[in-house]
Amino acid sequence: MVPRHRPEEISAAMGREIHRLGIRLAVAVFAGMWSMVPALVIYFTDLPPGTAWALALTSGIFAVPVVFWAGLGILWMAWRSIRLRAPGMDLLISLGALAAFVASLWSLAQGRAEVWFDTATMLITLLLFGRLVDTATRRGAVDALLAMEEASPEVALVEEAGRWIARPCAGIAPGTPIAVEAGAPVSMDGVVRRGESRINRAVLTGESALVPVGVGMRVEAGALNLGRRLILSTDRAFGDRDIDRMG
Q: What backbone torsions phi and psi does residue 87 show, to the nearest 5 degrees?
A: -65, 145
H/E segment holding residue 134: helix 117-150
Average pLDDT over residues 80-93: 91
Q: What is the DSSP string of 4-24?
A: PP-HHHHHHHHHHHHHHHHHH
In this structure, the strands spanning 190-194 and 197-200 are: unpaired
Task: Please check the confidence at residue 169 and state whether its pLDDT lies above 80.
Answer: yes
- CA-CA distance, 157 to 115, in Å (whole number)? 72
State the average pLDDT over residues 33-41.
Answer: 92
Residue 5: band (very low, low, confident or very high) from pLDDT cuts 50, 70, 90: low
The residue count for the chain: 247
Among 43-52, 147-156, 165-174, 222-231, which is the least confidently predicted range? 147-156
Q: What is the pTM of this model?
A: 0.67
Reduced to 3 states, what is the DSSP secondary structure of residue 74?
A: helix
Band (195; pLDDT cuts 50, 70, 90):
very high
* Per-residue pLDDT tens over the stretch 90-134: 999 999 999 999 999 999 999 998 999 999 999 999 999 999 999
Instruction: Check whether 186 has a pLDDT greater than 60.
Output: yes
| Cβ atoms of residues 15 and 7 within 8 Å | no
